[in-house]
Structure 1
Amino acid sequence: MMKPVRSILAILALGGLVAACQGQMPKTESKRDMLADSGFKVVSLKTPGQAASFKKLPPHKLVRKTWQGKPVWVYADPTMCGCLYMGTQDNYNAYIKEASKQMMATAMRANFADDPYSPSSMDATVDNDWDWGEWGNPGYYGLPY
């Protein structure tokens, strides 16, 4: 008997959390911006050897390399800046955390976009011309007006 009640409460709590988060528009950043914000350093190609090594990396993918026994993450961007982003494991972890938040926010918006009962799909435009008529004063209903 307690399991259905717990399930209902869990669903209501999750719904409330989703509704609370819908009012906040997450900032959308490019992968390059998120890499830089996570502490990755932008490295320009200065020598023919660097350019040759750069061309061997898969474009637009984070790749784990090892330097002096420690992981180093690199991201080759041949199209926008023709540069390499380089970061530590901590930088990578920070990037993954931010990227995960953005993916979740995008998935939540997509999930509720067509749901007529979702608070995010309701029209939030201001309509000052509405005739209150029979509704009277919104303060009567406990609204702070």
Structure 2
Amino acid sequence: MKKSALFAISFMLFASQSSFAGTKTLVEYGVVQQSHIISDSNGRYHPLRTAAAGALGGVVGHQFGNGKGKTAMTVAGAAAGASASRYRQSTQQAPQKVDLLIKTQSGATIDVVQDYNGGIVFNPGDKVRILTQGSNTSVDKSL
């Protein structure tokens, strides 16, 4: 009987709502002072990708021409493939972040850097809501 009572009490403690505590989010409001888009471009160049594209271009170029013309077309194809790969790598969209300088209603000035996807554009003077949960802070527009 003692074991079953102990089991029942233990089960109730683990299954009770108080053991599943939620998280607290601090909500503040403020006004954007400055907003800057930051590109996270770390020179994302992949030489192996460029070499592969050059080789593929060389194979395609080798299909054309005769004699020295075939050699020229192979070289031109390799150069075109490598060049196209390099161009594509340089124009790929790098991840972006937005850096926001915000004056809160309490008078403090804070700086928040968060991911930017183009969905919300922050301009100086915009009223924003600042959500802080633990060490994570995010900003959205206030209604």
More strand by share: 2
After TM superposition, the score normalised by the length of structure 2 is: 0.23
- Structure number with higher helix proportion: 1
Higher relative contact order, chain-length normalized (CA < 8 Å, sep 6+): 2
Larger radius of gyration: 2
